[in-house]
Amino acid sequence: MRRILIVGAGQSGLQLALGLQSKGYDVTLLSHRTADEVRSGRIMAPQCLFPAALRHERELGLDFWTARAPRIEGLGVSVAGPEPATGGRTRVVDWLGRLDGCAQSVDRRVKTAGWLDTFAERGGRLVIHAATVSDLDVLAGRYDLVLAAVGRGELASLFGRDADRSPHSAPRRALAVACVHGLGPRPEHPGLDAVRCTLVPGVGELFVVPTLTLSGRADLLLWAGLPGGPLDVFRETTGPSEHLARTLELLERFAPWEYARATEVELTDANATLAVGRHAPTVRHPVARLPSGGLVLGVADTVVADDPVTGQGAGSAAKCAASYLASIVERGERPFDEAWMRTAFDRHWESARHTTRWTNAMLDSWPEHVLDLMTAAATHQPVADRLARGVDDPSDLEDFFYDAERAAAYVSSVAEG
Amino acid sequence: MSQAVLCRKPARVRPYSLTGGRQRRCRVLLVETFVAALDTPGDGPPGPPPDGSGPLPPRSVPEVRAVPEARAIVELCFRLRSVAEIAALLKMPLGVVRVLLLELADQGRIRVFDTGHGTGRPDRALLERVLGGLHRL
Amino acid sequence: MRGEDPTRGGPPAALDVPRGWQTDRSRAPHATKIVVAGGFGVGKTTFVGSVSEITPLRTEAVMTVAGEAVDDRTATPDKTTTTVAMDFGRITLDTDLVLYLFGTPGQKRFWFMWDDLVRGAIGAVVMADTRRLADCFPALDYFDSAGLPYIVAVNQFEGTARHDPEEVREALALPHQVPLVQMDARQRVAVVDTLLILVGRALDTTPG
């Protein structure tokens, strides 16, 4: 039986661990926290899986929360207009695109803890330990394959930055999340759950995401602010009630139409707020060589860390785990050598590059033609639906999103029906 | 953190016993957790579990005996040792010790002892005993 | 931590004879631990060695130097590594009760080690040097957020002036209920007293 060591127990590490376990591999999983510690700990960076990514979980029988999680059927986009002298911003763009299938957001405290327990219950060897280079250096020789799914943890720096694929060198957004009960529906779509994104040009973005947390259905209020800007007011040390108060103040100022349904909200629990650490979006080289010569293959955001602004983190992790799982199984009994590792990563990158390109594009100020697309979506439902589906499968955006002429041609073709 | 860290267990997992580690793969090895070899010095393959807890679940475990690090751990554990002591005395990274100990426990070659209070905070009775012990020093 | 003599203040290695409980492999004592945290050179290993029944032991781990939240500003592959050491000692309190003392470095980037150490711990002694009080800020922040009982032990070095404890308390923004002691980590009695105060503090914060 092939022995595989997985370091890190987030979306990608656990999905791979459970997937490999179900296919008969001998998996050892290193997690720095126990399931109970995860469950009783601070909320983590939020996740939302769109249908294509969710399918991978379902294929492995790991979609434990589908019956309880809100069914997210659409993606709404609003663009805030300039601040009038009298206060009270309005929306200059507002539309709702429909997804093909449902998206789902589950609090990572629920999901990670549940998957950790499942892995252990199914006989997986779960080792509670914060891995260091020294550990991997010795352990690498004892496994057929070592995978690092450590996110932006310190071990990620074993993997060299790929400058050609990393156009940004500084953090571009500061994220702050609060998980709340009591958010009302959007009055124009009272029976429909959707991810709502409000773009405040030059300031940042607000995301409202229906989610499942420890205490049931809830909503995430997520501000993604340009560093140093008016949204960059959350710190690690901001207390929960102050965090929520600031979140709501900003809602009232920059997105009053969302504030209108947030007047009754309360935090779901004492750990329901987080100022997410800020990072420059970075693509790294996929293979790390340990001091002893052992090789480690980087997984998901350990090697492709996009900015969280497009909400693709968990979905990319799910896709990477699925792609690596297929590559590992297809490899059979042959060695997991460096050439195989690079091939496995390239296969994943073939899909991941679209997400990275789109996410990086959204971090810059938008070119005219993107604004035109957003505006066209408000009047042409097919454009709105296609943009929403682009969040599910960013490769589709290649055909029309990045080029002014093609964007115009696409909008004309829709307008002419 | 609570006692429950030692496993939120489904019915098919047998209750925790002091033989340690054999049914549970989500055991938490704290730095102060005590372990001891089940083999005796110069022993052959491991004998049956002393408490009659039965065979291991059907799960292949690699032949750790062949690994020198594992052998060194077993030899050191002919005396009761804590996880941290093993790492320090064998100059082995803590994570490697944890992984090998869990494998050795799976094979029935070492036993892992409960610290007496799980991974949660010690209770008042234990703290009183520590206080008394320190007073006597 | 490096630069301190791990044996200073501790008993000679010859005293490291097995205790009775170590030779009985059928049972084990209750295992407890206390974390001793503080900045570089503040005297953690001296503290541990003063009271340990064994020559303090050391575990080492190599970690990558990066690991702060913002580590991606540099464009070069950041493979620099550093060694982090943890010294620990042991006290047999009774035939079935053993206490470990773990000395751990105070920098924020070693938080991952603290997560490991605070699991099941009685509490922490945060050691402070009045010449470098800021060195213990990260440890105080950490134990506050982790909800672990702690006290502050100001190590009196030779030649350093004694400070008004209230001034130190104020500089550390220490809540009034957190004990602050001035002590000499080379004195066994002082170390035992410090541990007694910590365990007392842990009792105060543990529901009955």
Q: CB-based contact (8 Å) between A17 and chain B?
A: no
Convert the pLDDT of each residue in A374-410 to its tens digit. 999 999 999 999 999 999 999 999 999 999 999 999 9
Class of residue C111 by CB neighbours under 10 A (exposed 0-12, middle 13-18, buried 19+): middle
> Distance (Å) from the C-alpha of residue C131 to the closest C-alpha of chain B?
30
The answer to whether the CB atoms of A129 and C66 lie below 8 A apart is no
CB-closest option in A30, A35, A121 to B95: A30
Convert the pLDDT of each residue in C106-129 to its tens digit. 777 777 788 889 999 999 999 999
CB-closest option in A33, A134, A279 to C72: A279
Q: CB-based contact (8 Å) between B72 and chain A?
A: no
> Distance (Å) from the C-alpha of residue C121 to the closest C-alpha of chain B?
6
Convert the pLDDT of each residue in C166-207 to its tens digit. 999 999 999 999 999 999 999 999 999 999 999 999 999 998
The answer to whether the CB atoms of B103 and A121 lie below 8 A apart is no
- Chain B residue with CA closest to C27: the answer is B113
Residue B65 has pLDDT above 80, yes or no: no
**Predicted pLDDT at C64:** 76
Are C95 and C85 a contacting pair, CB within 8 Å? no
Residues linked to residue C151 through DSSP beta bridges, in sequence order: C125
Interface A–B counts its CB contacts (< 8 A) at 81
The answer to whether the CB atoms of A138 and B96 lie below 8 A apart is yes
> Distance (Å) from the C-alpha of residue B83 to the closest C-alpha of chain C?
11
CB-closest option in B91, B115, B133 to C31: B115
CA atoms within 13 A on the CB side of A300: 30
Report DSSP letters for C101-131, one per residue: EEEEE--GGGHHHHHHHHTT--EEEEEE-GG
Convert the pLDDT of each residue in C127-162 to its tens digit. 999 989 999 899 999 999 889 999 999 998 777 777
Q: Which of A309, A199, A300 is nearest to A255 (CA)?
A: A199
CB neighbour list of residue C86: distance below 8 Å, 6 or more residues apart: B84, C58, C59, C60, C61, C102, C103, C104, C105, C113, C117
When pLDDT is averaged across residues C62-84 and rounded to a whole number, the result is: 54
Are A169 and C75 a contacting pair, CB within 8 Å? yes
Q: A407: part of which helix (H) or strand (E)? A: helix A404-415
3-state secondary structure of C198: helix
Residue B133 has pLDDT above 50, yes or no: yes
Contacts of C51 in chain B (CB under 8 A): 137
Residue C67 has pLDDT above 90, yes or no: no
Contacts 24+ apart (CB under 8 A), A241-249: A241/A267, A243/A176, A243/A178, A243/A273, A243/A275, A244/A178, A244/A180, A244/A273, A246/A176, A247/A176, A247/A178, A247/A221, A247/A223
Cα–Cα distance, A97 to A104 (Å, whole number): 16
Strands A266-267 and A174-181 turn out to be: antiparallel
Q: pLDDT class for C73, splitting at 50, 70, 90?
A: very low
The per-residue pLDDT of chain C, averaged, comes to 84
- Chain C residue with CA closest to A170: the answer is C73
Chains that touch B (3 or more CB pairs under 8 A): A, C
CB-closest option in C64, C69, C73 to A133: C64
Strands A145-148 and A3-7 turn out to be: parallel
With vertex at residue B119, the alpha carbon angle to CA B117 and CA B122, rounded to the nearest 5 degrees, is 45
Among A247-261, B36-50, C87-101, the least confident range: B36-50
Q: What percent of chain B has pLDDT over 70?
A: 62
Task: Centre a 10 Å sphere on the Cβ of residue C208 and count the other Cβ atoms it contains.
Answer: 6
Question: Which of A30, A37, A128, A132 would best serve as a mutation to test chain C binding (most C beta carbons within 10 A)?
Answer: A132
Cα–Cα distance, A398 to A407 (Å, whole number): 10
Residue B53 has pLDDT above 60, yes or no: no
- Identify the residue with better confidence: B115 or B71: B71
Model ipTM value: 0.92
Q: pLDDT class for B56, splitting at 50, 70, 90?
A: very low
| C27-71+79-204, CATH topology level | Rossmann fold (3.40.50)
Lookup: tokens for C118: 């605070």
Q: CB-based contact (8 Å) between C202 and chain B?
A: yes
**Predicted pLDDT at B92:** 96
Residues linked to residue A146 through DSSP beta bridges, in sequence order: A5
Collect the ranges in chain A with pLDDT lower than 70: none
DSSP A369: H
Cα–Cα distance, C50 to A89 (Å, whole number): 66
Lookup: tokens for C25: 């492999």
**Predicted pLDDT at B19:** 30
The answer to whether the CB atoms of B119 and A34 lie below 8 A apart is yes
**Predicted pLDDT at B52:** 40
Please give the domain boundaries of chain A with CATH numbers for all domains.
Answer: 3-62+106-168+280-362 (3.50.50.60), 72-103+176-276 (3.30.9.40), 366-415 (no CATH)
> Distance (Å) from the C-alpha of residue B66 to the closest C-alpha of chain C?
24
CB-closest option in B9, B28, B94 to A34: B28
Residue B1 has pLDDT above 50, yes or no: no
Interface A–C counts its CB contacts (< 8 A) at 72
Cα–Cα distance, C57 to B89 (Å, whole number): 8
Contacts of B60 in chain A (CB under 8 A): 1, 26
Are A353 and A286 a contacting pair, CB within 8 Å? no
> Distance (Å) from the C-alpha of residue C176 to the closest C-alpha of chain A?
21
**Predicted pLDDT at C180:** 97
Convert the pLDDT of each residue in C23-54 to its tens digit. 889 899 999 999 999 988 899 999 999 999 99
**Predicted pLDDT at C145:** 85
- Chain B residue with CA closest to A125: the answer is B25
Q: CB-based contact (8 Å) between C94 and chain B?
A: yes
Residue B26 has pLDDT above 70, yes or no: no
Task: Centre a 10 Å sphere on the Cβ of residue C165 and count the other Cβ atoms it contains.
Answer: 14
The answer to whether the CB atoms of B103 and A35 lie below 8 A apart is no
- Identify the residue with better confidence: C96 or C1: C96
The whole model's pTM is what? 0.90
What length is written for chain C? 208
